[in-house]
Chain A
């Protein structure tokens, strides 16, 4: 460490940041690809099936079907990368990147463990240091940008079903963003700040927001499903029933788009855990050791990831008009009422 820090332009802080970026992105990618397995095995278990178990590691070890991941990866890499002749080439190549990058960087502000001090230097366990005054606005902004991957993919495919899928998805994401923002706003108001670490501190002091704002949680939770295009709101691509925005994509480009969906649900569950379930806070242990807080954050994250899978295989898909009805006429009033109710509660004290 000592010799490295003497290199020009490299300080301990920078190394720490790089390390965090590396760890977090590889963890997100790892969980995302792992979750393609959990999705299939878990759905099989939920539906009394068995799921993928034919792929064998070195032709011998079944490992609960985990080698399927490797097999899929190899398949995606070596598949012919076909570009249909009627696409808009540049945008067609750009779209998977546009879909993938927001899915990765949305995680950046979320603290995944307690701050700690080592040799007098404070270290924060989130990629962007707290107090950057971007706070929770960052994931919201990234979530807003995530639409472009879908829109661009849909339009550049030059395929009418792809365009229809993209339009369904974009309309849905734009409509649900409003209730999402209002639900989060109620939390900002209560905390009096919008930095995720402040929100977690507030929750440690006076209880998780799931108990304090159950209505806001419901709205936020539902909107997260819509934002990450998961069932019951998966109008961007509906597997067998509705043709989606990426039906002109194959091989690694498709893999990027599919992985970006999992990246979105990881960010979504991290947001749910941070905003409503105390983030890395360990219940009944205000001074928990750092590793334990990371573990608790992981547990919460994985639980909500599992809930995403669980809900997907429990509920049927909504009809499109039902989706719009729910978004504009149910969730928006509820989130507004939640906001105003909380504002009233706060104003009573003054």
Chain B
């Protein structure tokens, strides 16, 4: 179905160009005065490195792997997020876990490797939707950048710590976890020089 465009009949005043141009110039000058009178911080432009946009609730930024209060990881390595991911950027390896003094002790399963390739991630939030344990969240951090491709490959400990600074919590490393973790080196997670 086409749209019927109404043809605007121009009056002789409009045809002369002079009056419409004067009108337009008045409009732009009004904008000029308004913009001059506004202090820089109150103008429309968000001057990015100095000012940051307040993000809406539910913004899908960098991921965080959630933990219980006692520090046990919520993820049970069910592979739901890996399946749901349209970009195929999540790769998980599961391991057995039977330390009963942690909340997770009842679960008996957790990821030994949880990798997200941030270069492939499209921040769609499907992993968040798919997670039965509410263990992976997409939060409001959006400055995900690095100098090489390898450091964009976030491992389990990077993902746990992504919002440690923002939440005012201490960064967790593998050694702080219970000594009962299997002696198998779980840090195949690339590097620790992830985001801060």
Contacts and interface: CB of A to CB of B under 8 A. Distances in A.
Interface in A5-63: 42, 44-50, 53
B187 interface: no
B32 A50 contact: no
Given A45-B36, A50-B40, A218-B18, A314 B28 contact: yes
A45 B38 CA distance: 10
Nearest to A222: B17
Contact of A315 (B24, B36, B40): B24
Contacts of B29: 46, 310
Contacts of A93: none
Contact of B45 (A49, A310, A314, A315): A49
Nearest to A54: B47
A311 interface: yes
Contacts of A44: 35
B88 interface: no
A48 B18 contact: no
User: Do most interface residues of chain B lie in helix, strand or loop, or is the interface mixed?
Assistant: helix
Nearest to A330: B17
Contacts, number: 40
A48 B45 CA distance: 8
B145 interface: no
Find the residue from A45, A53, A218 having the highest chain B CB count within 10 A. A45
Nearest to B29: A310
Interface string B12-25: 00000010010011
- What 9 A-B pairs are tightest by C-beta distance, nearest first? A45-B35, A314-B28, A50-B45, A46-B28, A45-B32, A314-B24, A46-B32, A314-B25, A48-B35
Contacts of A46: 28-29, 31-32, 35
Interface in A132-169: none
A188 interface: no
A48 B21 contact: no
Nearest to B44: A48
A53 B5 CA distance: 43
Given A45-B36, A218-B18, A310-B29, A50 B24 contact: no
Contact of A50 (B25, B28, B34, B43): B43
18 contacts: A42-B32, A44-B35, A45-B32, A46-B28, A46-B29, A46-B31, A46-B35, A48-B31, A48-B44, A49-B35, A310-B25, A311-B21, A311-B25, A314-B25, A314-B27, A314-B28, A315-B21, A315-B24
Contacts of A218: 18
A254 interface: no
Contacts of B31: 45-48
Interface string B41-64: 001110100000000000000000
Contacts of B44: 48-49
Nearest to B33: A45
Contacts of A50: 40, 43, 45, 47
Nearest to B23: A314
Contacts of A314: 21, 24-25, 27-28
Contacts of A328: none
Interface string B120-163: 00000000000000000000000000000000000000000000
A47 B21 CA distance: 16
A76 interface: no
Contacts of A49: 35, 44-45
Contact of B43 (A42, A48, A313): A48
Contacts of A311: 21, 25
Contacts of B35: 44-46, 48-49
A314 B43 CA distance: 20
B37 to A, nearest CB: 10
Contacts of A48: 31, 34-35, 43-44
